[in-house]
Every structure is written in structure tokens, then in C-alpha cells.
């Protein structure tokens, strides 16, 4: 199995629903008619029901129940609802496959855990929390492409990982010659997610890619303390979700952490403890609602 064949397979995957593609296009727009978009979202009853269930979850802590997409947009804001609609659509895009030795529930628990961790870390890093949540949810999707489209080869990945006691990406490289980060980046490009999300998915295991770049503009740090990027946040969120055992897998391994990236956040012990507690509290509710 050649890496080029795998990337071609990604390009042959179905696109996201038209309304989600339209929502993704709004990430680059300033003038948005939310009433029109709300009406289009409402045409998909299953997507609407799941989005409203998320909007009414304790994750957002609303004082009163919202019953329509337009009302949810008014209360939570368009950016949050766009994130939830996208999340609901993405999690519905890969149904579990029979006869595949793969724990789909554990996969989504980790993906959602990473998304929540990214959302919690983002404000502390000057990164948009909705963008961080989306990138966190997407970061491992390449694994689903590999295991659902190439199940026989993926059994070899699992066997290699057990035999060599290594992280999944190393086993994927050994078997496929490409890992889930590269496949996931190709998928987010196919689905037309913004470039910064594609880059974060591609670089979420690479310390040199996640290392902060010098910030500019409002809130930028001094050259001695460069500002974290979205890739930095997803790199750390993935490690944090593993460290907090959010997948629930017995053989889960915590990837190594770059001290340079850790230091780039410039958070004290109290801030980290607060981030851990907030992530765990939000995770359980979001996981119950969003897990396929």
C-alpha cells in the first residue's frame, strides 16, 4: 500500500453536507446572514436535534432551554453553533465498521477529550477556542480513514504496535509509510477546512511544528516568550487527553512532551491545575452528547 494510494483514497471520500461546507466557508467571511444559515441547518432534522442537544448541555450552562437554531445562535453566538454543527456532522461521517479490530468508542472519547482540552487551553494561549475545539476533534481522523478503508492492513498496525510497544503513529508509518496526521491533513483539505486547521492536524505530533512562533499584534508576547499557535494548542491538547486517560484504553500511551512547547505557554502550576479540572468537568458532558 503506497502513501499516494492512501491520499487518493482520501480525495475519493464523500464531502461533508452542503450546509457544513457553507458554514466552513464563513470562517473566512465577515458579513454573514445567520438567519439564512440557520434556516438551512434546520432543514436537516437529525443535525438540528443533535446540535440543540449539545447547545442545551451543561457544557454551555444556559439558564433557559433553546429550541431553535436561530435562538441558539442568539444565545451562544454564531461561531459556537457553527462549531457544534460541524462537530455533529464530522462524528456522523465515519460509522463503525464490522470485523475491524478497532475501538471506535475509545477513538471518539479521545477525539472529544482533545477537543475539550484544546478549547480550555485556547483562551490561555490567545487562540480562538471554537477553532481549537474543531481542530482538536479532527486531529486523529486520519486513523479512521486508515482503519475503515484498509482494515486488513490496519490489523497489521495493531499487531506491530503490540509487538514493539510503540505509539500508533510509529506503527502506521511502519505499515503504511504514512501516519494519521498526514492522512488527516489531507482529509481536512478535502473537506475545505481553513489552512490553520490543516496545519494543526498535520503537526500535532511534531514538537518542531508545534513550537511557538513569534507573535505579532495585540496580545503578542515578547520575542523571549513567543506566542503559542493553534498547532501548539492541539499538540498539547492531544498529550493532555492521553495523560488524563480520556479514551479509557488500558494500553493508552502518553506521547513525549517537548519542554520548549510546554514553556511556550508560560502557565504556572495553578493555571495548569485549573485547566486540568475544567477539561475533565466539561469532557464528560460533551462526550455523552457527542459520541456517535
Residue 220 predicted with pLDDT over 50: no
Residue 248 predicted with pLDDT over 70: yes
Q: How confident is the model at residue 207 (pLDDT cuts 50, 70, 90)?
A: low
List Cα–Cα distances, 58 to 17, 54, 105, 154, 283, in angstroms. 27, 8, 22, 37, 10
Claim to verify: residue 48 and residue 143 sit in the same structural domain:
no
Q: State the average pLDDT over residues 271-280.
A: 88
Q: How confident is the model at residue 111 (pLDDT cuts 50, 70, 90)?
A: very high
What pLDDT score was predicted for residue 222?
43
Residue 217 predicted with pLDDT over 50: no
Q: State the average pLDDT over residues 271-284.
A: 87
Last residue of a domain, one of 60, 92, 124: 92
What pLDDT score was predicted for residue 186?
94
Claim to verify: residue 30 and residue 115 sit in the same structural domain:
no
Claim to verify: residue 10 and residue 22 sit in the same structural domain:
no
Q: Comparing 191 with 219, which gets the higher pLDDT?
A: 191
Give the global pTM.
0.88
What pLDDT score was predicted for residue 287?
80
Q: How confident is the model at residue 167 (pLDDT cuts 50, 70, 90)?
A: confident
Last residue of a domain, one of 92, 119, 142: 92
Claim to verify: residue 214 and residue 149 sit in the same structural domain:
yes
Q: State the average pLDDT over residues 189-198.
A: 94
What pLDDT score was predicted for residue 175?
94
Claim to verify: residue 69 and residue 196 sit in the same structural domain:
no
Claim to verify: residue 127 and residue 256 sit in the same structural domain:
yes
Average pLDDT, the chain: 86
Domain that holds residue 109: 3-14+99-290
Claim to verify: residue 85 and residue 134 sit in the same structural domain:
no
Claim to verify: residue 194 and residue 183 sit in the same structural domain:
yes
Claim to verify: residue 245 and residue 148 sit in the same structural domain:
yes
> Out of 69-73, 232-236, 264-268, which region has the weakest mean confidence (pLDDT)?
264-268
Q: State the average pLDDT over residues 221-245.
A: 81
Last residue of a domain, one of 92, 108, 143: 92
Q: Comparing 29 with 75, which gets the higher pLDDT?
A: 75
Number of domains in the chain: 2
Q: How confident is the model at residue 96 (pLDDT cuts 50, 70, 90)?
A: confident
Claim to verify: residue 110 and residue 69 sit in the same structural domain:
no
Claim to verify: residue 59 and residue 153 sit in the same structural domain:
no
Claim to verify: residue 151 and residue 213 sit in the same structural domain:
yes
Residue 70 predicted with pLDDT over 50: yes
Query: Domain holding 218: CATH number?
Result: 1.10.3210.10
Q: State the average pLDDT over residues 29-52.
A: 88
Amino acid at each position: 500500500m503506497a502513501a499516494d494510494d492512501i491520499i487518493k483514497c482520501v480525495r475519493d471520500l464523500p464531502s461533508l453536507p452542503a450546509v457544513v461546507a457553507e458554514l466552513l466557508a464563513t470562517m473566512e467571511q465577515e458579513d454573514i446572514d445567520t438567519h439564512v444559515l440557520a434556516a438551512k441547518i434546520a432543514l436537516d432534522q437529525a443535525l438540528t436535534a443533535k446540535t440543540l442537544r449539545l447547545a442545551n448541555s451543561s457544557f454551555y450552562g444556559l439558564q433557559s432551554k433553546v429550541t431553535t437554531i436561530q435562538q441558539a445562535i442568539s444565545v451562544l453566538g454564531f461561531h459556537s453553533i457553527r462549531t457544534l454543527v460541524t462537530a455533529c456532522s464530522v462524528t456522523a461521517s465515519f460509522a463503525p465498521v464490522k470485523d475491524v479490530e478497532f475501538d471506535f468508542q475509545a477513538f471518539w472519547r479521545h477525539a472529544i477529550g482533545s477537543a475539550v482540552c484544546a478549547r480550555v487551553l485556547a483562551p490561555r494561549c490567545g487562540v480562538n477556542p471554537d477553532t481549537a475545539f474543531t481542530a482538536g476533534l479532527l486531529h486523529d481522523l486520519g486513523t479512521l480513514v486508515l482503519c475503515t478503508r484498509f482494515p486488513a492492513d490496519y490489523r497489521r498496525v495493531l499487531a506491530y504496535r503490540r509487538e514493539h510497544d510503540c505509539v500508533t503513529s510509529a506503527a502506521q508509518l511502519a505499515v503504511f509509510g504514512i501516519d494519521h496526521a498526514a492522512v488527516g491533513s489531507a482529509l481536512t483539505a478535502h473537506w475545505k477546512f481553513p489552512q490553520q486547521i490543516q496545519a494543526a492536524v498535520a503537526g500535532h505530533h511534531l514538537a518542531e511544528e508545534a513550537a511557538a512562533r513569534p507573535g505579532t499584534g495585540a496580545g503578542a508576547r515578547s520575542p523571549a516568550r513567543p506566542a503559542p499557535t493553534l498547532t501548539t494548542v492541539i499538540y498539547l491538547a492531544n498529550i493532555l487527553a492521553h495523560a488524563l486517560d480520556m479514551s479509557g484504553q488500558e494500553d493508552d500511551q502518553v506521547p513525549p512532551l517537548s519542554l520548549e512547547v510546554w514553556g511556550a505557554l508560560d502557565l504556572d502550576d495553578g493555571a495548569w491545575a485549573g485547566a486540568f479540572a475544567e477539561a475533565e468537568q466539561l469532557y464528560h458532558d460533551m462526550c455523552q452528547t457527542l459520541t456517535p
